[in-house]
Protein backbone atom coordinates (compact mmCIF):
# COMPACT_ATOMS: atom_id res chain seq x y z
CA UNK A 1 0.00 0.00 0.00
CA UNK A 2 1.41 3.39 -0.96
CA UNK A 3 1.61 6.37 1.37
CA UNK A 4 -1.63 8.06 0.31
CA UNK A 5 -3.64 4.86 0.76
CA UNK A 6 -2.08 4.09 4.13
CA UNK A 7 -2.65 7.66 5.30
CA UNK A 8 -6.32 7.54 4.24
CA UNK A 9 -7.05 4.29 6.05
CA UNK A 10 -5.19 5.35 9.19
CA UNK A 11 -6.66 8.86 9.15
CA UNK A 12 -10.21 7.53 8.95
CA UNK A 13 -9.92 4.96 11.76
CA UNK A 14 -12.91 4.96 14.12
CA UNK A 15 -13.50 6.19 16.74
CA UNK A 16 -11.72 9.53 16.81
CA UNK A 17 -14.10 11.81 18.66
CA UNK A 18 -11.79 14.80 18.38
CA UNK A 19 -12.92 15.16 14.73
CA UNK A 20 -16.68 14.97 15.47
CA UNK A 21 -18.23 18.43 15.25
CA UNK A 22 -21.54 17.09 16.61
CA UNK A 23 -19.82 16.60 19.97
CA UNK A 24 -18.33 20.08 19.73
CA UNK A 25 -21.89 21.43 19.28
CA UNK A 26 -21.20 23.00 15.92
CA UNK A 27 -24.25 23.66 13.70
CA UNK A 28 -25.56 20.69 11.74
CA UNK A 29 -25.22 21.02 7.95
CA UNK A 30 -28.45 20.97 5.88
CA UNK A 31 -29.61 17.69 4.34
CA UNK A 32 -29.55 19.14 0.82
CA UNK A 33 -28.06 22.11 -0.99
CA UNK A 34 -30.20 25.27 -1.07
CA UNK A 35 -32.12 26.35 -4.17
CA UNK A 36 -30.92 29.75 -5.40
CA UNK A 37 -33.56 32.47 -5.42
CA UNK A 38 -35.22 32.79 -8.82
CA UNK A 39 -33.84 29.47 -10.08
CA UNK A 40 -35.77 27.47 -12.67
CA UNK A 41 -37.22 24.40 -10.95
CA UNK A 42 -39.20 21.65 -12.69
CA UNK A 43 -41.51 19.42 -10.68
CA UNK A 44 -41.15 15.75 -11.59
CA UNK A 45 -44.04 13.29 -11.99
CA UNK A 46 -45.05 11.50 -8.79
CA UNK A 47 -42.73 8.47 -8.64
CA UNK A 48 -45.35 6.43 -6.81
CA UNK A 49 -47.62 6.77 -9.85
CA UNK A 50 -44.93 5.68 -12.32
CA UNK A 51 -45.55 2.12 -13.48
CA UNK A 52 -42.26 0.27 -12.95
CA UNK A 53 -42.08 -3.04 -14.85
CA UNK A 54 -41.58 -6.01 -12.53
CA UNK A 55 -38.31 -7.72 -13.43
CA UNK A 56 -36.60 -10.38 -11.28
CA UNK A 57 -33.53 -8.99 -9.52
CA UNK A 58 -31.56 -12.03 -10.61
CA UNK A 59 -32.27 -11.20 -14.27
CA UNK A 60 -30.91 -7.67 -13.87
CA UNK A 61 -27.81 -8.86 -12.03
CA UNK A 62 -27.06 -11.72 -14.41
CA UNK A 63 -27.47 -9.67 -17.60
CA UNK A 64 -25.53 -6.53 -16.61
CA UNK A 65 -22.11 -6.24 -18.20
CA UNK A 66 -19.62 -3.44 -18.89
CA UNK A 67 -19.72 -1.90 -22.34
CA UNK A 68 -17.65 0.66 -24.16
CA UNK A 69 -20.66 1.82 -26.20
CA UNK A 70 -24.28 2.81 -25.79
CA UNK A 71 -26.79 3.17 -28.59
CA UNK A 72 -28.42 6.57 -29.14
CA UNK A 73 -30.91 6.63 -26.30
CA UNK A 74 -33.82 8.57 -24.84
CA UNK A 75 -35.98 8.22 -21.73
CA UNK A 76 -39.29 9.69 -20.59
CA UNK A 77 -39.71 12.17 -17.76
CA UNK A 78 -41.68 9.65 -15.63
CA UNK A 79 -38.82 7.16 -16.05
CA UNK A 80 -36.28 9.79 -14.98
CA UNK A 81 -38.52 10.59 -12.01
CA UNK A 82 -38.36 6.94 -10.92
CA UNK A 83 -34.59 6.70 -11.41
CA UNK A 84 -34.02 9.75 -9.22
CA UNK A 85 -36.48 8.79 -6.49
CA UNK A 86 -35.31 5.20 -6.13
CA UNK A 87 -31.66 6.26 -5.93
CA UNK A 88 -31.72 9.44 -3.81
CA UNK A 89 -35.33 10.45 -3.17
CA UNK A 90 -36.78 11.08 0.28
CA UNK A 91 -38.85 8.03 1.18
CA UNK A 92 -39.67 9.39 4.64
CA UNK A 93 -38.92 12.78 6.15
CA UNK A 94 -38.89 12.49 9.93
CA UNK A 95 -38.00 16.13 10.58
CA UNK A 96 -35.92 18.96 9.11
CA UNK A 97 -32.63 17.11 9.62
CA UNK A 98 -33.58 13.41 9.45
CA UNK A 99 -34.74 11.56 6.35
CA UNK A 100 -34.84 8.02 5.05
CA UNK A 101 -33.87 7.26 1.47
CA UNK A 102 -33.88 4.04 -0.54
CA UNK A 103 -30.11 3.52 -0.13
CA UNK A 104 -28.07 2.76 3.00
CA UNK A 105 -26.19 5.65 4.59
CA UNK A 106 -24.13 5.50 7.76
CA UNK A 107 -25.96 7.44 10.47
CA UNK A 108 -28.56 8.46 7.85
CA UNK A 109 -26.26 11.34 6.91
CA UNK A 110 -26.75 11.05 3.10
CA UNK A 111 -23.70 13.01 1.91
CA UNK A 112 -24.47 12.63 -1.82
CA UNK A 113 -25.90 15.26 -4.18
CA UNK A 114 -27.24 14.12 -7.56
CA UNK A 115 -26.46 16.10 -10.70
CA UNK A 116 -27.19 14.90 -14.21
CA UNK A 117 -26.66 15.83 -17.83
CA UNK A 118 -29.82 15.31 -19.87
CA UNK A 119 -29.03 14.12 -23.37
CA UNK A 120 -32.43 12.94 -24.58
CA UNK A 121 -35.00 13.27 -21.80
CA UNK A 122 -38.61 13.86 -22.82
CA UNK A 123 -39.72 17.23 -21.43
CA UNK A 124 -36.26 18.51 -20.48
CA UNK A 125 -33.89 20.56 -22.60
CA UNK A 126 -30.41 19.16 -23.02
CA UNK A 127 -28.32 20.51 -20.18
CA UNK A 128 -27.12 20.21 -16.60
CA UNK A 129 -29.52 19.74 -13.69
CA UNK A 130 -29.48 19.06 -9.95
CA UNK A 131 -32.01 16.84 -8.20
CA UNK A 132 -33.89 18.36 -5.24
CA UNK A 133 -35.18 15.39 -3.23
CA UNK A 134 -37.24 17.40 -0.71
CA UNK A 135 -39.63 18.56 -3.45
CA UNK A 136 -38.86 15.79 -5.96
CA UNK A 137 -37.92 18.36 -8.59
CA UNK A 138 -34.94 19.27 -10.71
CA UNK A 139 -33.07 22.55 -10.72
CA UNK A 140 -31.86 23.80 -14.08
CA UNK A 141 -28.21 24.79 -13.83
CA UNK A 142 -27.47 25.28 -17.52
CA UNK A 143 -29.33 24.46 -20.72
CA UNK A 144 -26.79 23.69 -23.42
CA UNK A 145 -27.02 21.14 -26.24
CA UNK A 146 -23.22 20.83 -26.20
CA UNK A 147 -23.08 19.65 -22.59
CA UNK A 148 -23.16 15.91 -23.42
CA UNK A 149 -20.05 16.49 -25.55
CA UNK A 150 -18.32 18.48 -22.79
CA UNK A 151 -19.27 15.89 -20.19
CA UNK A 152 -18.26 13.05 -22.48
CA UNK A 153 -14.80 14.55 -22.87
CA UNK A 154 -14.39 15.20 -19.14
CA UNK A 155 -15.68 11.72 -18.28
CA UNK A 156 -13.08 10.13 -20.56
CA UNK A 157 -15.92 7.93 -21.86
CA UNK A 158 -16.99 9.95 -24.89
CA UNK A 159 -18.79 7.22 -26.84
CA UNK A 160 -20.86 6.26 -23.80
CA UNK A 161 -21.82 9.67 -22.42
CA UNK A 162 -22.59 11.39 -25.74
CA UNK A 163 -25.06 8.63 -26.66
CA UNK A 164 -26.62 8.23 -23.21
CA UNK A 165 -30.13 9.46 -22.49
CA UNK A 166 -28.88 10.81 -19.17
CA UNK A 167 -25.58 10.75 -17.28
CA UNK A 168 -25.63 11.01 -13.51
CA UNK A 169 -22.94 12.68 -11.41
CA UNK A 170 -22.91 11.91 -7.70
CA UNK A 171 -21.02 14.59 -5.83
CA UNK A 172 -19.93 14.12 -2.24
CA UNK A 173 -20.68 16.73 0.41
CA UNK A 174 -18.42 15.18 3.04
CA UNK A 175 -19.21 17.54 5.91
CA UNK A 176 -22.71 16.05 6.20
CA UNK A 177 -21.03 12.81 7.27
CA UNK A 178 -17.92 14.10 9.03
CA UNK A 179 -20.05 16.43 11.21
CA UNK A 180 -21.53 13.36 12.93
CA UNK A 181 -18.91 10.69 12.30
CA UNK A 182 -15.66 12.59 12.27
CA UNK A 183 -13.05 11.72 9.67
CA UNK A 184 -14.61 8.26 9.26
CA UNK A 185 -17.30 10.10 7.28
CA UNK A 186 -14.98 10.41 4.30
CA UNK A 187 -15.19 6.65 3.81
CA UNK A 188 -18.97 6.83 4.09
CA UNK A 189 -19.22 9.23 1.13
CA UNK A 190 -17.44 6.76 -1.16
CA UNK A 191 -19.44 3.79 0.09
CA UNK A 192 -22.78 5.54 -0.37
CA UNK A 193 -21.92 6.47 -3.96
CA UNK A 194 -21.45 2.76 -4.62
CA UNK A 195 -24.80 1.90 -3.01
CA UNK A 196 -26.48 4.59 -5.11
CA UNK A 197 -25.02 3.35 -8.38
CA UNK A 198 -26.08 -0.21 -7.64
CA UNK A 199 -29.60 1.03 -6.92
CA UNK A 200 -29.57 2.83 -10.29
CA UNK A 201 -28.54 -0.37 -12.07
CA UNK A 202 -31.47 -2.17 -10.44
CA UNK A 203 -34.21 0.38 -11.18
CA UNK A 204 -32.93 1.25 -14.68
CA UNK A 205 -32.85 -2.47 -15.45
CA UNK A 206 -36.57 -2.66 -14.72
CA UNK A 207 -37.15 -0.22 -17.59
CA UNK A 208 -34.78 -2.12 -19.87
CA UNK A 209 -31.95 0.44 -19.71
CA UNK A 210 -28.27 -0.28 -19.30
CA UNK A 211 -26.12 1.59 -16.78
CA UNK A 212 -22.41 2.13 -17.33
CA UNK A 213 -20.64 3.29 -14.13
CA UNK A 214 -17.65 5.61 -14.63
CA UNK A 215 -15.14 6.05 -11.83
CA UNK A 216 -12.15 7.17 -13.89
CA UNK A 217 -12.69 10.75 -15.06
CA UNK A 218 -11.01 14.15 -15.18
CA UNK A 219 -11.82 15.46 -11.69
CA UNK A 220 -11.05 19.12 -12.32
CA UNK A 221 -13.01 19.28 -15.58
CA UNK A 222 -16.07 17.56 -14.06
CA UNK A 223 -15.91 19.92 -11.08
CA UNK A 224 -15.70 22.92 -13.40
CA UNK A 225 -18.51 21.83 -15.75
CA UNK A 226 -20.87 20.96 -12.88
CA UNK A 227 -20.05 24.18 -11.05
CA UNK A 228 -19.13 22.35 -7.85
CA UNK A 229 -17.53 24.23 -4.96
CA UNK A 230 -14.19 22.39 -4.67
CA UNK A 231 -13.92 23.38 -1.00
CA UNK A 232 -17.12 21.60 0.01
CA UNK A 233 -18.01 19.18 -2.82
CA UNK A 234 -16.14 16.74 -5.00
CA UNK A 235 -17.20 14.45 -7.83
CA UNK A 236 -17.25 10.81 -6.73
CA UNK A 237 -18.96 8.69 -9.38
CA UNK A 238 -20.65 8.97 -12.78
CA UNK A 239 -23.14 6.65 -14.47
CA UNK A 240 -24.48 6.80 -18.02
CA UNK A 241 -27.97 5.41 -18.69
CA UNK A 242 -29.22 4.27 -22.07
CA UNK A 243 -29.69 1.35 -24.41
CA UNK A 244 -26.85 -1.08 -24.86
CA UNK A 245 -25.20 -1.14 -28.28
CA UNK A 246 -25.80 -4.70 -29.44
CA UNK A 247 -23.58 -4.62 -32.48
CA UNK A 248 -20.47 -2.50 -32.96
Q: How far apart (Å, rounded) are the C-alpha atoms in residues 192 and 174? A: 11
Average pLDDT, the chain: 95
> What pLDDT shows up at residue 149?
96
**Per-residue pLDDT tens digits for 45-76:** 999 999 999 999 999 999 998 877 888 899 99
pLDDT band at 246 (very low <50, low <70, confident <90, very high): low
**Per-residue pLDDT tens digits for 115-153:** 999 999 999 999 999 999 999 999 999 999 999 999 999
The answer for residues whose C-beta is within 8 angstroms of residue 6's C-beta and 6 or more apart is: none
Q: How far apart (Å, rounded) are the C-alpha atoms in residues 203 and 52? A: 8
- Claim: this prediction has a pTM higher than 0.85: yes
Q: How far apart (Å, rounded) are the C-alpha atoms in residues 84 and 76? A: 13
Q: How far apart (Å, rounded) are the C-alpha atoms in residues 120 and 127? A: 10
Q: How far apart (Å, rounded) are the C-alpha atoms in residues 235 and 85? A: 20
Would the pLDDT of 247 be above 80? no
Q: How far apart (Å, rounded) are the C-alpha atoms in residues 31 and 236? A: 18
Amino acid sequence: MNDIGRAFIKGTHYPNYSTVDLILRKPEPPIELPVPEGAQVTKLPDPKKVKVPKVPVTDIISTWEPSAFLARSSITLPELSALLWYTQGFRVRVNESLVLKNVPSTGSRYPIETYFVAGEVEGLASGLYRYIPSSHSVLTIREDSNLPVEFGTASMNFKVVTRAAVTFLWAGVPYRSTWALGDRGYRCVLIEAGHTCQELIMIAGCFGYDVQPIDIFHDDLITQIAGLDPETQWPVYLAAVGNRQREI
